[in-house]
Amino acid sequence: MECRKCGACCIAPSISSKIPGMPDGKPSNVKCIHLSKNNLCDLWGKPERPKVCIECKADEMFCGNSFEEAIRIFLELEK
């Protein structure tokens, strides 16, 4: 699956590792401060980008068929 660049993976899941500007990580259902207005990562390609973000790949199992579905799936997995 190719990423549709919806930003759901930068909003719904929690990130426990340190992120520049978010030293305690990112809580679930909170937009990462590095997600741009056009749903692109401002840390893309930079060494400070968290490993979990680098390893996250688009997959129908997590991304579903829409942004809304992806948010729902990720939030369900957070429970």
**pLDDT tens digits, residue range 7-42?**
999 999 999 999 999 999 999 999 999 999 999 999
Half-sphere exposure in the Cβ direction for 68 (13 Å, CA): 0
**Overall domain count for the chain:** 1
Domain of 16 in residue numbering reads as: 1-79
User: Letter for the amino acid at 62?
Assistant: F
Could you tell me the pTM of the whole model? 0.90
Query: Mean pLDDT, the chain, as a whole number?
Result: 95
